[in-house]
Amino acid sequence: MFLLRCVLAWLLLIIAGLVEIVFAISLKYNEGFTRLIPSIISLVSGGASLYLLILALKFLPVGTAYAVWTGMGAVGVAILGVVLFKESVDLYRIASISLVIIGIIGLKLTDKN
């Protein structure tokens, strides 16, 4: 049962991170909450992401879970920024994204859950 709870908590955290990416990208499209549909997407995805994080925190350490959640959001938005908004791609950006990914992996490997 413990293993199932841990797996479910990590699954919730991953989903929360993906929804966090939707939230952050939708902020670009809602233009200061002046566009209805993107604004609704921002509010719903932001709330959903936070709720899923809260559920995951019932079984995961707060430091690990929060770092993974924000790290997934940062990496996802950075990659989508390049793809959707033609943001620059250079060695420093790629190295920085890689370091965040390495940090997330490191936190997962040191987590006892």
What are the extents of the domains in the chain? 2-110
**Is pLDDT of 112 > 80?**
no
| Residue of 42, 46, 45 lying closest to 30 (CA atoms) | 42
Residue 107's contacts (CB-CB under 8 Å, 6 or more residues apart) are 63, 64, 67, 68
Task: Report pTM.
Answer: 0.90
Q: What is the pLDDT of residues 90-101, one digit of tens each?
A: 999 999 999 999
**Residue pLDDT, tens place only, 4-61:** 999 999 999 999 999 999 999 999 999 999 999 999 999 999 999 999 999 999 999 9
pLDDT for the residue numbered 110: 83
- Other CB atoms within a 10 A radius of the CB of residue 30 amount to 17
Average the pLDDT over 64-79 and give the result. Answer: 95
Cα–Cα distance for residue pair 111/89, rounded to 1 Å: 32
b/e per residue, 76-97, with b = 16+ CB within 10 A? bbbebbeeeeeeeeeeeeeeeb
Predicted local confidence at residue 113, as pLDDT:
62
> What pLDDT is recorded for position 49?
98
User: Could you identify the residue written with the tokens 């924000």?
Assistant: 70
Q: Quote the pLDDT of residue 3.
A: 86
The residue written with tokens 């620059």 in the block is 88
- Name the residue type at position 54: I
